[in-house]
Structure 1
Amino acid sequence: MPSNAPLGTPTKVTQGSPTKGGIGESTLRPDGTLKVTGEFAYSSDMWHEDMLWGQILRSTVAHAEIVSIDTVEALKTPGVYAVMTYDDLPTDVKNYGLEIRDTPVLAHGKVRHHGEPVAIVAADHPETARRAAAKIKVEYRELPVITDESSATAPDAILIHEGRDDHHIGHVPHPNIVHRQPIVRGDVASARERADFIVKGEYTFGMQDQAFLGPESGLAVPAEDGGVDLYIATQWLHSDLKQIAPVLGLPEDKVRMTLSGVGGAFGGREDLSMQIHACLLALRTGKPVKIVYNRFESFFGHVHRHPAKLYYEHGATKDGKLTHLKARIVLDGGAYASASPAVVGNASSLGAGPYVVEDVDIEAIALYTNNPPCGAMRGFGAVQACFAYEAQMDKLADEVGMDRVAFRQLNAMEQGTLMPTGQVVDSPAPVAELLRRVQAMPMPPEQQWLTAGEAADVRQLPGGLSNTTHGEGVVRGVGYAVGIKNVGFSEGFDDYSTAKVRLEVVGGEPVAVVHTAMAEVGQGGVTVHAQIARTELGVTQVTIHPADTQVGSAGSTSASRQTYVTGGAVKNSCELVREKVLELGRRKFGTYHPAWATAELLLEGGKVVTDGGEVLAHLADVLEGETVEIEAEWRHRPTEAFDLHTGQGFGHVQYTFAAHRAVVEVDTELGLVKVIELACAQDVGKALNPLSVVGQIQGGTTQGLGVAVMEEIIVDPKTAKVRNPSFTDYLIPTILDTPTIPVDVLELADDHAPYGLRGIGEAPTLSSTPAVLAAIRNATGLELNRTPVRPEHLTGT
């Protein structure tokens, strides 16, 4: 850590306990107490005694030519050190992006969405920076806004990005389409003729915000070598680095990044926010620069979940077997590409759900519009599709005359099923069993809002403490849903992670140090890494080194991949360290030293191994005066890109499944909903930390509840302006809204994964939303084909 490191920089966290604390145990989080007590250092807590504060001026319109920018008055403001616009950028590289570099660091020529960065200011106080930014005069010439598919793909549509030359342009029918992916297998037209029942549906999925509690923030510190040290809350340090360095005109080794405390992410920190802006101002002024978004600005400073229109047709025989699926999924990507191509790939390839259907024709596209940019969010394209196909399953079951759960079980995929992409599901796929388990869970009691004296406890009723009803017009509904989600990066992406593990003796006791670039965003990876090291090395004390770019990439904390991939890298590095230590011990003491008593040393092909993976009992003796350190990468089996015409290909490395049963009570007169229970059954392969597993499932379930009944970013269709950028108007579930969430964890090992585990964080976000909608439909008899459900949808007002 450099001598001018800011106060509040994350410190090393050492885990240790008298018990082993290895894989399969519910060890506690090392950061848990600090977070609960408010002592944890988040990125917004970073401090440097001579730092400046950065502020971003954002566009007040969604689509316009920039006629002029006048910064004179801002520069005259006392306390202002720098004002920068597009013309002040230091290199010819002025754009960035996850896949397509279409996002300008600062707007040039025109703005494409409400809230786009136009200029940046550095001042000696945050209020001074804000006042100075407000003095910048920007003259706009407004342009027509593109807000939906019809306006985006019209023959005379204004192009959001003129002169596109990215690799997707050759296979899209219009330049305002970011990406298109069809999935075609079999013959849908012939299969339709065999169907005894056909159901169709049009579904609308609202724009959801990640709503992480820690807004975007970070601190850039200029270094003596002309580089910069950036302390930042992010999901992917090395991806940020590759986008930041070219804009700054610096080699990557001069942009040193350290992960600061992350207050949640859920996909919203995969894209850059203030990283480049802070670095630019720090290098321009020669002083550390801190930027912290307020909540209003945060709504404009990160991407959101893609809103979607989904058109589905399913057929079934009279005995309930699916005959075909034809679907079209239209995702609104907003002004910039972000992760839209990958979201399209997920939505299309998983668009049939966890069901056996031989004849499939799915098309998914993402649009460029002037709406807010959309990208990664927990569930990543599969959430929108699940909402539609699960509503279709209920409709079709009703048409056939079957129980809705039994209909799903009859058509459920299993190990060996062929996906619509032609990929064989080669690990357990217990879809029918998960449905059986969640259906078998005890039901919550009826009318539990009645007290012993038969008086209504309003806290348990729809509307809660607002005292809107005492039970009049309240009806109960029950709904089921199940979903399928991929794990890890897909479609041929080189998905790997790196871990450096060091084993040494400190104070007479062996200690393991684990160093990765994994972003700990709340998922508990730091806990699991220590558990893996204890299991593989037989040590008690494990230190987790702060994540930074001084070690190889760990990839993004997304796609439910970190325990799988970075956990695999930690396991791999520990195994290599163990082999080296055992060889060291053999050379030092021979094969009959007492350290071998429990290890049962074996030699295979000249390689030192132990049965059962157990490690030496006398590590301190073996390591005395020695340090063993190994940095190694780990990759899962390779995937391949989907064919751009048929969608065929081994696109995903692993699948994960969850099923939900929702129990709701609805006040049909007022349109108020209370979710009583959201029971979940999920296959996790292997629960490395059972307590953390349940917490992840409950967290994902609650986010699915949010988008079902309350969460939506409202964008004015005429102006493309965001109307509710605050937690006053954008509602997220609180503890009072969160129902009982019983969880049944199934462990069916995936032989291709470390310890047989499956990624778990995203799957419950899929099925919780359609389960809640199904329960509300069951209570009201209404079709309800959009999220979120609002009171007016239930009362017709």
Structure 2
Amino acid sequence: MAPTTGPGRTPTQLDQGADTKGGVGESPLRPDGTLKVTGEFAYSSDMWHEDMLWGCTLRSPHAHAEIVSVDISEALEQPGVHAVLTYDDLPTEMKNYGLEIKDTPVLAHGRVRHHGEPVALVAADHPETARRAAAKIKVDYRELPVVHDEESALAKDAPLLHPDRDDDHARHVPHPNVVHRQPIVRGDAGAAARRADVIVTGEYEVGMQDQAFLGPESGLAVPAEDGGVDLYIATQWLHSDLRQIAPVLGLPEEKVRMTLSGVGGAFGGREDLSMQIHACLLALVTGKPVKIVYNRFESFFGHVHRHPAKLWYEHGATRDGKITHMKCRIVLDGGAYASASPAVVGNAASLSVGPYVVDDVEIEALALYTNNPPCGAMRGFGAVQACFAYEAQMDKLAAELGMDPVELRRRNAMSQGTLLPTGQAVDSPAPVAELLRRVKAMPLPLEAQWETVGGEPDVRALPGGLSNTTHGEGVVRGVGYAVGIKNVGFSEGFDDYSTARVRLEVVGGEPVAMVHTAMAEVGQGGITVHAQIARTELGVAQVTIHPADTQVGSAGSTSASRQTYVTGGAVQHVCRLVREQVLERGRERFGTYHPAWASAELLLEGGKVVTDGGEVLASLVDVLGDEPVEAEDEWRHRPTEAFDLKTGQGFGHVQYSFAAHRAVVEVDTELGLVKVVELACAQDVGKAMNPQAVEGQIQGGTVQGLGLAVMEEIVVDARAKVRNPSFTDYLIPTILDTPTIPVDVLELADEHAPYGLRGAGEAPTLSSTPAVLAAVRAATGRALPRVPVRPEHIVEV
């Protein structure tokens, strides 16, 4: 029996019909939009099976400890418990998994390396029964010294968190507790420094940010008659999950069938596995469907976070504002397991200069193994941390030169053809100076918006809001600017491709296209865009999007701003293959009656085959008849290459996106409270495939950057324990914190990309954070080298 979706509902096939043209460049309604805004959409936590069990995970209360013994006897005696599993119950020799480095144990063995690491699993007939049973598992721990920062990780006598590592990175790192190191050297930064009239340095820090998606980790595993398992899961990459799950279960990949269920946000936090293997193990052991749903507390331990970072920068410039050189060192805390840390290091290093022309650089970026929570992918992926530092440096350099900070940026802005520190030329539009000009030219919001017509303050618009902490006394306005550069797509030689299957047939007397990919729809609107592409390429009104699953080839991850580029490119490519089959069939059936079939440029428009002059040759219904046309193929963007491990040179990224922000803030300088009044953004998107969705992506990324600037941080103490794993203490922006976000969208086509598009979702997350901090610095005169900024950083204590 197939699972149901409980009280909510997810369309098994998402249709966009003939009531709108809805092609590329338009903004048709999202097929999932109404269900989501009315609360009817079924997320993975709504999945249900009539005879299912509930899974629960026992997690370590320590960040680093030896497991002396595990006693599960009392848990097994609990009525309603069907299974209790530990490391010793895993079915194969493959007991670890990981995105790049298989260093993450399915269940802890020998020792735990971070607070909240999974130690044991329970399956029971009720979730509360499972939780009570898990609490009865007795684990005897012997605490070990904690590695929690660079000093403790690289000390001569530092505990080695992975002493037996044999991954590809282990051979070129300076210490076993370094996950990956990437230097970049170009020109002669030392000699260039001697030519500088002004040199500024700075030390900066970025706190650990959580993706804070609203739908916690959840899924349903159903054992199958063939000995395999069907997994219904909220994830970002079905096939990556599959490659990690199947070996641990001891099953061939074809016996682990995965279907995407409703995803309540991701932002990188679902790239790694959470409960996928655990649910499958329990289902296979018990022979019953098993559902696991994390609560919010557990979710903070169940996925990776944004790498906290410490960054040191040096910039030099001539009196006229020309940057002479840049040196930097970026240290990322990767936590207990590698996750995506190597790729994050590559991004942080290669983008550490920012969108500026700097010929002489010395760069070092590295990620550490520590006993802090594992860190991996999050929107911006290494570029966020670097952008905060280099933009603070631009403001510091401008102040030292007595120059307008926007003018300094414009004088050094890269453009098409600029060579990056990696030696790669930017071979598509790079309108950095224009974005800065546009965002600065936007009208500023009125001063003192918190004053009413009668002059009485409206406390809702003041720092502190309805807490009524001020009526305007001590409130100072500040304005700040920032711009950032983000790569698009997978990089450094990764085989970045996507697969699409498209079927065109007659249903109910009209042509209908079916698009099938494994793309994870995580709220970004990919299913809408795929339908738009199919309408544009095939000239049909009705498009159905097949549920994403592993019965079609991989679509890669919904991350790196790549899905519209790569999976959209695959859909476009396969639609064109289908189009050629349709036209060939038409030539065979009707070509002898009309010479235009062979001689004219033929198009599919409005369900008809027409010439480029508009002459109708046949309807698609007549051409297709009772025989559908179908095609499936992979599509790849241009190949990239790994960065040299000594010099950092190489064609590492396929595309870049750029965004600029202007922040307007009001700061209560007596209490240290910040109100962000406006975050204006200008961004180049190449081609706005769906203008309304593009604007939403820019606004969403802007607010996520705002969160990092003034409120979001996972607090980890000196024992590497998480102190605020809840939305009570981990604060995220609400609508009351969201400022006005005017958006100016440029469309400068990238000739290498489908439709000229440019990945858009991540770039605004980079520049919004440093823009807010620049504005707060302008209001307070404080240096503020750390995010998130707190009241005690603003007010003298």
Provide closer, same or farther for how the CA distance between residues 12 and 454 of structure 1 changes in structure 2, counting only shifts above 3 A. Answer: same
Q: Give the gaps of 5 or more residues in structure 1.
A: 603-607
C-alpha contact (below 8 Å) 2:10/2:41 kept by paired residues = no
Which residue of the partner structure matches residue 523 of structure 2? 522
Which residue of structure 1 aligns with residue 326 of structure 2? 325
1:28 is displaced (CA, Å) by 1.3
2:399 aligned counterpart, secondary structure = helix
In structure 2, C-alpha distance between the alignment counterparts of 1:298 and 1:613, rounded to whole Å: 56
Cα distance in structure 1, aligned partners of 2:617 and 2:564: 26
Q: In the aligned structure 1, how far is the partner of 2:390 from the partner of 2:599?
A: 54
CA distance in 1, matches of 2:366, 2:611: 52
Q: In 2, Cα distance between the equivalents of 1:352 and 1:217?
A: 39
Which amino acid counterpart does residue 635 of structure 1 have in structure 2? R
DSSP-derived class of the 1:695 partner: helix
For the 8 Å contact 1:599–1:615, the answer to whether it is kept is no
Q: Deviations over 1:225-265 (max 9, x none)?
A: 00000000000000000000000000000000000000000
The equivalent of 1:450 in structure 2 is: 451
Is 1:482 the counterpart of 2:483 in the alignment?
yes
Give the CA deviation at 1:600. Answer: 4.0
Counterpart residue type for residue 755 of structure 1: Y
The answer to whether 1:15 aligns with 2:16 is yes
The offset of 1:9, in angstroms, is 6.5
Shift of the 568–173 alpha-carbon distance from structure 1 to 2, 3 Å rule, reads: same
5 Å matches for 1:311-710? 311-590=312-591, 592-593=593-594, 600-601=601-602, 618-710=619-711
Q: What are the superposed Cα offsets for residues 24-69 of structure 1, whole Å, 9 maximum, x if unpaired?
A: 0011111011001110010000000000000000000000000000
1:655-695 deviation line (CA, Å, top 9, x unaligned): 00000000000000010000000000000000000000000
Q: Which residue of 1 aligns with 2:243?
A: 242
Where 2:292 maps in the other structure, the secondary structure is strand
Q: Match of 1:757, as an amino acid? A: L
Is the counterpart of residue 41 in structure 1 residue 42 in structure 2? yes
> What letter matches 2:737 in structure 1?
D
**1:312–1:392 contact (8 Å) kept in structure 2:** yes
Describe the SS at the equivalent of 1:590.
helix
**C-alpha RMSD over aligned residues:** 1.7
In the other structure, the counterpart of 1:266 is 267
CA contact (8 A) 1:238 1:555 kept: yes
Q: Judging changes above 3 Å, is the alpha-carbon distance between structure 1 residues 218 and 401 closer, same or farther for their aligned structure 2 residues?
A: same
Give the 3-state SS of the residue equivalent to 1:168 in structure 2: helix
Deviations 1:520-549 (A, max 9, x none): 000000000000000000000000000000
1:754 aligns to what?
754
Matched residue pairs, number? Answer: 790
For 2:616 and 2:660, locate their aligned partners in 1 and report how far apart those are by CA, in whole Å: 39
Equivalent position of 1:50 in the other structure: 51
Determine the C-alpha separation between the residues in 1 that align with 2:179 and 2:76. 39
What per-residue deviation string (whole Å, max 9, x for no partner) do you get for residues 156-185 of structure 1?
100011111111011100000000000110
> How many angstroms does 1:399 deviate by?
1.0
SS in 1 for 2:573: helix
Matching residue of 1:793: 793
Contact 1:538 1:616 in 2 (8 A): no
The secondary structure found in structure 1 opposite 2:695 is: helix
Distance verdict in 2 for CA 1:591–1:264, change over 3 Å: farther
1:737 aligns with 2:737: yes
Alpha-carbon shift at residue 617 of structure 1 (Å): 6.0
Distance, in Å, in 2 between the alignment partners of 1:185 and 1:293 is 47
1:31-110 equivalence runs, <5 A: 31-110=32-111
Structure 1 residues 598 and 681: CA distance shift in structure 2, 3 A: farther
Cα deviation, residue 401, structure 1: 1.6
Q: Give CA-to-partner distance per residue, 1:406-450, whole Å, 9 cap, x none.
A: 000000000000000000000000000000000000000000110
Question: Structure 1 residues 71, 594: closer, same or farther in 2, change over 3 A?
Answer: farther
Provide the rounded CA distance (Å) in 1 between the counterparts of 2:778 and 2:270.
37
Going from structure 1 to structure 2, the CA distance change for 1:788 and 1:617 (only over 3 Å counts) comes to: farther
Looking at structure 1, the residues matched to 372 and 213 of structure 2 have their Cα atoms a distance apart, in angstroms, of: 21
Q: Which residue of 2 aligns with 1:206?
A: 207
One-letter code aligned to 1:144: P
Q: Aligned partners of 2:786 and 2:526: how far apart in 1?
A: 35
Sort the Cα spacing of 1:507 and 1:311 in 2 relative to 1 into closer, same or farther, 3 A. Answer: same
2: distance between equivalents of 1:103 and 1:795? 43
Q: Distance in 1 between the 2:93 and 2:273 partners?
A: 19
Q: Deviations over 1:369-406 (max 9, x none)?
A: 00000000000000000000000000101111211000
When normalised by structure 2's length, the TM-score is 0.98
Residue 775 of structure 2: aligned partner: 775
| Compared CA separation, residues 584 and 184, structure 1 to 2 (3 A) | same
Deviations 1:476-531 (A, max 9, x none): 00000000000000000000000000000001100000000000000000000000
**CA–CA distance in 1 between the matches of 2:402 and 2:483?**
20
Query: How big is each residue's C-alpha offset from its partner over 1:248-304, in whole Å with a ceiling of 9 and x where there is no partner?
Result: 000000000000000000000000000000000000000000000000000000000
Return the alpha-carbon distance in structure 2 between the equivalents of residues 382 and 627 of structure 1.
46
Q: Given that residues 58 and 120 in structure 2 are in contact (C-alpha distance below 8 angstroms), is that contact kept between their aligned partners in structure 1?
A: yes
CA distance in 1, matches of 2:158, 2:659: 42
Q: 1:378 corresponds to which letter in structure 2?
A: R
Once the two structures are TM-superposed, the CA of residue 5 in structure 1 deviates from its matched residue by 6.5
* Aligned equivalents of 1:617, 1:54: Cα separation in 2: 57
Q: Secondary structure at the match of 2:26?
A: coil
Q: Whole-Å Cα distance in 1 between the matches of residues 480 and 564 of structure 2? A: 31
- Inter-CA distance 420–612: structure 2 relative to 1 (3 Å threshold): farther
> Whole-Å Cα distance in 2 between the matches of residues 694 and 598 of structure 1?
42
Letter aligned with residue 334 of structure 1: G
The one-letter amino acid of 1:161's match is: H
Q: Quickly say closer, same or farther: Cα 1:357–1:617, change in 2 above 3 A.
A: farther
* Distance change (3 Å), C-alpha of 1:744 and 1:598: farther
CA distance in 2, matches of 1:527, 1:741: 24
What is the CA-CA distance between 1:589 and the residue it aligns to? 1.0
Could you say what secondary structure the match of 1:513 adopts?
strand
Deviation at residue 20 of structure 1 after TM alignment: 1.5
The answer on whether the counterparts of 1:595 and 1:619 sit within 8 Å (CA) in structure 2 is no
Give the C-alpha shift of residue 626 in structure 1: 1.2
Q: Is the 8 A contact 1:577 1:628 kept in 2?
A: yes
Distance in 1 separating the partners of 2:701 and 2:602: 44
SS at structure 1 position matched to 2:443: coil
Secondary structure of 2:272's aligned partner: coil
User: Which deviates more from structure 2 when the two are superposed, residues 585-594 or residues 485-494?
Assistant: 585-594
Q: Secondary structure at the match of 2:522?
A: coil
Write the distance in 2 (CA, Å) between the matches of 1:212 and 1:335: 22
SS at the partner of 1:318?
coil
Pairwise CA distance, 1:474: 0.3
CA distance in 1 between counterparts of 2:668 and 2:616 reads: 61
- Deviation at residue 18 of structure 1 after TM alignment: 2.7
Distance 2:595 2:78 in 1: 74
TM-score by length of 1: 0.98
Q: Which residue of 1 aligns with 2:606?
A: none
2:72 and 2:611 map into 1 onto residues whose CA distance is 69
Residue equivalent to 1:605: none
1:186-228 deviation line (CA, Å, top 9, x unaligned)? 0011000000000000000000000000000000000000000
Matched position secondary structure for 2:168: coil
Residues 405 and 121 of structure 1, relative CA distance in 2, 3 Å threshold: same
Establish whether residue 725 from structure 1 lines up as the match of residue 730 from structure 2: no
